[in-house]
Amino acid sequence: MSLVDSAAIKRLADWDGDRLERLAAAHDTPLYVTDHDRIRENFARFDAAFDFAHVMYAAKANTGRAVIQTLYDAGADIECAAAGELDRALKAGVAPEDLQYTAVNPPDRDLDYAVDLWADTPELTITAGAEMTLDRLESRGFDGRLAIRVNPGIGTGHHEKVATGKDAKFGVAYDEVPELVADARERFEFVGLHAHVGSGVLSGDLDDHRRALQKVADLAERVGSLEFLDLGGGFGVPYRPEEPPLDIEAAAEMVREVTDGVDATIALEPGRYLLADAGALLTRVNTVKETPETRVVGVDAGLTALIRPAMFDSYHHIRNVTGGDREPVESSVGGPLCTSADVFCTDRPIPRAEANDLLAIGNVGAYGINLANQFHSQPKPGEVAIEGDDERVTRRRETFEDLTRLEDEVPGDQ
């Protein structure tokens, strides 16, 4: 099977259970496992479908050094939404000329970093989403490659919190763009328009996505003289086991049709599509409690390890790796944190979990470990990369010493 012809989605059931058990025993839990072969397969499939476009990786999905290196080596340039992501990409070996910086209400220190980087690498493109950002860039001496982010007023995706195309926080209001473009052409090397209208787009969302992208493409034709039109990312993967995967060929054909009249390079920034199904989170059962309402299954991972269910009410499939052949029992799986939000599922049929069972949570490769936090002073999980038969730690597990390290390093008496 070629990379391009690989399965459109890696289901949680496709992960080797014996290998997951071995990794959990060797590296403890909670533990992120990232399949880098799968990342390459996903990129190859996407790149082949969108063979008419310039494909970048939206680093915010997972800024792990090993992940960035894998995608950069596969041929993806890197799109960064913050200066910290620029820094991480550089430390992963990405050449500055292969970076694009998409600023969202950038702090002064972020703009300072980006402009300093541009001073040494004039190929760097900076995308601005507000008129004031242009003024702030000019005040720093920047007169280089600039793109403007468009807010088309239409959002798509799996949740209102990611439907960025209709959120005033993101981009310049649609009708104001032509005037701002004229201004930008006077002050900078204006090179393109950018838009990202939402995330988690599946086949059933393509008509809505088409309407949003069509507005942006129409604006690009109206503005004219563009080097590129960047349509962001947004293409999703199914999180529920019964959901079909995105028809990536249909998605590519839709984008091709929408942009047919645009005389510019079409750019795309997939993130979730490349990473989501390449990650699994392993967690160990420590407590089982029968209640009149449900069977409570307590595990050692919490919203500190995976916050998406609490933040977005996201569904993540859960597999009992140890006892997968047992009778399913309606169970509520939750972590060790003192909040009712710390649950991964409620009353979901799962093969009957017992103490010390290993559970795997699927589709966590995108926005999983990147959103990990230290609430309740929980150390962040470790991460292991698998490639063929090889396994290596790419992010060590935090310790209690890590939790207080920055406080311990403060000089003087405390």
CATH of the domain at 60: 3.20.20.10
Q: Is 271 annotated as a binding residue?
A: yes
Same domain assignment for residues 116 and 240: yes
Query: Is residue 219 included in any domain, yes or no?
Result: yes
Reported as a single tens digit per residue, the pLDDT across 112-144 is 999 999 999 999 999 999 999 999 999 999 999
Same domain assignment for residues 56 and 136: yes
Q: Is 234 annotated as a binding residue?
A: yes
Same domain assignment for residues 292 and 233: no
Same domain assignment for residues 223 and 254: yes
Q: What is the mean pLDDT of the chain?
A: 93
Domain boundary among 275, 293, 319: 275
Domain boundary among 275, 301, 319: 275
pLDDT value of position 280 = 98
Cα(342)–Cα(305) distance, integer angstroms: 10
Residues designated catalytic: 338
pLDDT value of position 162 = 41
Domain with 124, as residue range(s), is 37-275
Reported as a single tens digit per residue, the pLDDT across 233-286 is 999 999 999 999 999 999 999 999 999 999 999 999 999 999 999 999 999 999
What does residue 347 show for φ and ψ, rounded to 5 degrees?
Answer: 50, 50
Q: With pLDDT > 90 as the criterion, what percentage of the chain qualifies?
A: 87
pLDDT value of position 4 = 56
Reported as a single tens digit per residue, the pLDDT across 343-383 is 999 999 999 999 999 999 999 999 999 999 999 999 999 99
Judge whether 77 and 57 are in contact, CB under 8 Å.
yes
Same domain assignment for residues 247 and 298: no
Query: Is residue 153 included in any domain, yes or no?
Result: yes
Q: Six-digit token pair at 357?
A: 């069972």
Same domain assignment for residues 100 and 208: yes
Q: Is 270 annotated as a binding residue?
A: yes
pLDDT at 1 over 50: no
Give the chain's domain count: 2
Q: Is 308 annotated as a binding residue?
A: yes
Query: Is residue 30 included in any domain, yes or no?
Result: no
CA-based torsion, 400, 401, 407, 408: positive or negative: positive
Kindly indicate the confidence band of residue 167, based on its pLDDT and cuts at 50, 70 and 90: low
